[in-house]
Structure 1
Amino acid sequence: MQAVHPSRTHVCVLGAGIVGLSCAWELVRAGMTVTVLDRAAEPAAGTSGANGAQLSYAYVQPLADPSIWRQLPKLLLARDSPLSLRLRLDPWQWAWGLRFLAACRASVSRDSTVQLLQLAGESRAGFDAFLAEERIDCDFSATGKLVLYASEDSFAGARRQLELQRALGSVQAALSAAECAQLEPALAHYAPRIAGAIHTPGECAADCGKVCLELARLLRARGVQFLLGEQARELVQERGRVAAVRCTSGARVQADAFVLALGVDSPMLLRPLGLGAAWQVPVQPLKGYSITVPASAQPGAAPAVNVTDAARKVVFARLGDRLRIAGMAELTDTRDWAIAPRRIASLLATARDVFPQGGEYAAAQSWAGLRPATPRGLPVLGRLAQGPANLFMNTGHGALGFTLAFGSAQRVAQQVRASNI
């Protein structure tokens, strides 16, 4: 076990994805001793490994939106829906579903948007500073993003969201189909099927898996101990505090404070603490898929700008000489990591439809991950009102984990430091 400096706060971070690793980075920068624990043998082995890669700092519309009510029959029944709510005999999932529907109101969506934009701005500043300082190789690009809409109704709704986000400081513009093709020539053939698009010129993309591996390397160089292949089984409490985390191997890891950044596995450790603590972390898994292909070198074939097909909920991100295509959101359970062939086929069909010559689709590498989603789309950060005093949350980021990671890390690290544990 790592030797802990007696004058430093020792923090155990549970989770070695982008959320946990960025938090460990900020804790080390704050002068703390850090241990990172994860059940996987390598960092970024879960949802951070091959996610959508887009950094959506200025376009953060939460999933819980009034438009959900019109889509509800399809979400519950249609097998091919890109957003799928398949309810099981699970009281936690039903409770999540009811809270999600309750959040599908304009006032709630607006408030969530305000909070997400604030956190995204903090995260952009944090990640930009990290990249400037460390100059890691992660296929970072800042080519902007186009969100495409197939109908006039959906485009009208997007323009309303644009006005809300613009009033909050986002720089965006509504473009015609012809303007989309001018900005991104690879969309020229697809332009007749575009009703309009929202262009956010400042949006970025990067390979989240590469960022995680670089973070792990830098953290090790700064003395952080990694306990990989160790699955947390129980938070051991003594006198209202977490004294240690017990692993399935029997190992017991002690620390002064603990940060729970386990994504969809976070509630599992909280429920034994009581309903009060567990109810404050309403996280359910939304399963997503991605494929990564070699990008075409033919001019005008593969996109340089990041693109989102809003109707099919599929995103395209350029990562150097590769193209990442990701999408789908299936409400599932924490054990469902299987890659469904029909979902991969759907991604490939969309890619060939939008960018027919965009990449070597026959060489696609498939992946699936579980996004930790809260009903409102807001992450759970910091101490719980009804939880142990030295336990801090950093979970529930949904599809915005990469986007919000560094801002969340800064907020949690500030709370740990201010707690004087």
Structure 2
Amino acid sequence: MKEHVLVIGGGVVGLASAWWLAEAGYRVTVLERAPEVGSGASYGNGGQLSYRYVSPLADEGVPLKALQWMFQDTGPLHFRPEADLRQYRWLASFLAHCRADVNRKTTAKLLALGELSRQGMKQLETTIPFDQFAWRDAGKLVVFRSRDQFVKAAGKAGAGEVWSPAECAAREPSLAAAEPLLAGGIFNSGEAVADCHAFCLALAARLRAHPHFQGFVGGEARRLLADRGRITGVDIETGTGVHTIAADSYVLAAGMQSRTLSDTVGIALPLYPLKGYSLTAPIRADDVAPEISVTDFERKVLYARIGSKLRVAAMVDMVGEDLRHNRKRVDSLIRQVRETMPRAADYSQLSVWAGLRPATPSSAPIIGATPYANLWLNVGHGPLGFTFACGSASLLAGAMQGEAPPFALDGLTLRT
């Protein structure tokens, strides 16, 4: 049997990593600080599985738009300066990535990762019944309010089916009220929606039954311990104090906590928490909720039917690791949702959630080796952790076994 691996993080990326490593023959333990897996950024995310439509945040023209949005209470992006140099280093790197040629290269890598993830999710179908996490092959419709943006998007190779505003409303009746405001839409089949938290619970249950799985450990990782180029253990805090646990190899897949832990051994991960909000409301029998997953391109709002509920996700708040709800931001989002899809759900029963999406400046995750021989990374997936979880777990397991990757990983590994 292969070596013992400690996966730090019980969100969707950590659990997928644990599964693929267990399947590869490793003895696997998962360390999670919350009482239940999938309780962090995985809990209330948008639910879209965007395998074939990816749009890195860093792109040509984004800095000008961002300047218009950053200090608005109601715009897609909100910025609050911090007394933390990491915020400004991340922003400087982000601006350096805001070039069309860089965006094209990143998009190509993410599309390859998305296809690998789609295949990986398909492999899980025999292990986890998809009805356990409300999976639906819904397709994805990106709607545009700006004629210029619509024409530009429609002109890209392989963009998808181009729909007029009338076709958008006819094929997705939940958009009837928004039709006069739309310039058009682009539809891609093969995209899915699902409940990420439910997926985490289902995958954790399967892990517990796996012959190579050693179990879950509850506790908060405080620091990594290193000696002569190797990680020797992790100090964790539990209800009974601070303890050290050890394994042969370690995988960091702990969202924003990965940045804190890597700092303890001198690795500066280029991660920043992009706070996003989601709204969840029950769908009544006479509601006209979306059957297709819908993304409002200019407003950066996505809509997805997950089981019997409508999930709406939006906004990027650059405010550090602050999970408090900004009431103005939330109220603005609720107004936009009511205007765009007034009859989609029972908005009087809305619940609000906020999560910290660990993003890199390029929007590409970091997967693979570190300067330490037995420390591995699976971090930085931003808002696409659910989408890329299976593919990045597959790449990680392959890298740890010394296998050649299915495509070149430049742009997806740690720069040292």
Deviations 1:280-323 (A, max 9, x none): x2000000011111113226x11111111112111111112111
Q: What are the equivalent positions in structure 2 for 1:81-92 lying under 5 Å apart?
A: 81-92=75-86
Deviations 1:8-47 (A, max 9, x none): 3100000000000001000110111111001111101100
3-state DSSP class of the match of 1:133? coil
> 2:277 touches 2:352 (CA, 8 Å); kept in 1?
yes
CA distance in 2, matches of 1:66, 1:195: 21
> 1:152 touches 1:195 (CA, 8 Å); kept in 2?
yes
CA distance in 1, matches of 2:307, 2:234: 40
Please report how far the alpha carbon of residue 227 of structure 1 lies from its aligned counterpart in structure 2 after TM superposition. Answer: 4.0
3-state DSSP class of the match of 1:344? helix
CA distance in 1, matches of 2:375, 2:67: 40
Deviates more, 1:92-101 or 1:306-315: 306-315
CA distance in 2, matches of 1:122, 1:80: 36
Please report how far the alpha carbon of residue 82 of structure 1 lies from its aligned counterpart in structure 2 after TM superposition. Answer: 1.1
Please report how far the alpha carbon of residue 341 of structure 1 lies from its aligned counterpart in structure 2 after TM superposition. Answer: 2.5
> 1:293 touches 1:324 (CA, 8 Å); kept in 2?
yes
Does 2:139 align with 1:151? no
The TM-score, its normalising length taken from structure 2, stands at 0.92
CA distance in 1, matches of 2:338, 2:282: 14
- Pick from 390, 394, 415 the counterpart of residue 374 of structure 2: 390
3-state DSSP class of the match of 2:331? helix
Q: What are the equivalent positions in structure 2 for 1:162-241 lying under 5 Å apart?
A: 162-163=156-157, 166=158, 172-223=160-211, 224-241=213-230
Does 2:233 align with 1:244? yes
- Pick from 361, 379, 385 the counterpart of residue 401 of structure 1: 385
> 1:290 touches 1:347 (CA, 8 Å); kept in 2?
no
Gaps of at least 5 residues in structure 2 are: 404-416
Please report how far the alpha carbon of residue 158 of structure 1 lies from its aligned counterpart in structure 2 after TM superposition. Answer: 2.0
3-state DSSP class of the match of 1:269? helix
Residue 189 of structure 1 aligns with an amino acid whose one-letter code is A
Residue 333 of structure 1 aligns with an amino acid whose one-letter code is G
Partner of 1:320: 307
> 2:177 touches 2:339 (CA, 8 Å); kept in 1?
no
CA distance in 2, matches of 1:175, 1:264: 38
- Pick from 127, 130, 152 the counterpart of residue 124 of structure 2: 130
CA distance in 1, matches of 2:243, 2:329: 39
Please report how far the alpha carbon of residue 213 of structure 1 lies from its aligned counterpart in structure 2 after TM superposition. Answer: 0.4
CA distance in 1, matches of 2:32, 2:329: 28
- Pick from 322, 329, 339 the counterpart of residue 325 of structure 2: 339
CA distance in 2, matches of 1:352, 1:213: 31
Partner of 1:60: 54
Structure 1 or 2: more helix by fraction? 1
The total of aligned residue pairs comes to 398
Residue 390 of structure 2 aligns with an amino acid whose one-letter code is F
Deviations 1:36-64 (A, max 9, x none): 00111110110000100000111111000
Gaps of at least 5 residues in structure 1 are: 1-6
CA distance in 2, matches of 1:59, 1:88: 33
The TM-score, its normalising length taken from structure 1, stands at 0.91
Residue 122 of structure 1 aligns with an amino acid whose one-letter code is L
Residue 229 of structure 2 aligns with an amino acid whose one-letter code is G
3-state DSSP class of the match of 2:127? helix
Deviates more, 1:217-226 or 1:189-198: 217-226
- Tell me how large the CA RMSD over aligned residues is: 1.5
Deviations 1:377-412 (A, max 9, x none): 01000002xx21110000000111110000000000
Q: What are the equivalent positions in structure 2 for 1:274-285 lying under 5 Å apart?
A: 274=266, 277-278=267-268, 281-285=269-273
> 1:383 touches 1:393 (CA, 8 Å); kept in 2?
yes
Does 2:71 align with 1:72? no
Deviates more, 1:112-121 or 1:32-41: 32-41
Please report how far the alpha carbon of residue 346 of structure 1 lies from its aligned counterpart in structure 2 after TM superposition. Answer: 2.3
Please report how far the alpha carbon of residue 340 of structure 1 lies from its aligned counterpart in structure 2 after TM superposition. Answer: 2.4
Partner of 2:286: 298
Residue 386 of structure 2 aligns with an amino acid whose one-letter code is F
Partner of 1:264: 256
CA distance in 2, matches of 1:140, 1:63: 26
3-state DSSP class of the match of 1:290? strand
CA distance in 2, matches of 1:377, 1:295: 33
Please report how far the alpha carbon of residue 91 of structure 1 lies from its aligned counterpart in structure 2 after TM superposition. Answer: 0.9
Does 2:16 align with 1:30? no
> 1:326 touches 1:347 (CA, 8 Å); kept in 2?
no
Residue 112 of structure 2 aligns with an amino acid whose one-letter code is Q
CA distance in 1, matches of 2:66, 2:297: 17
Residue 241 of structure 1 aligns with an amino acid whose one-letter code is R
Does 2:356 align with 1:370? yes
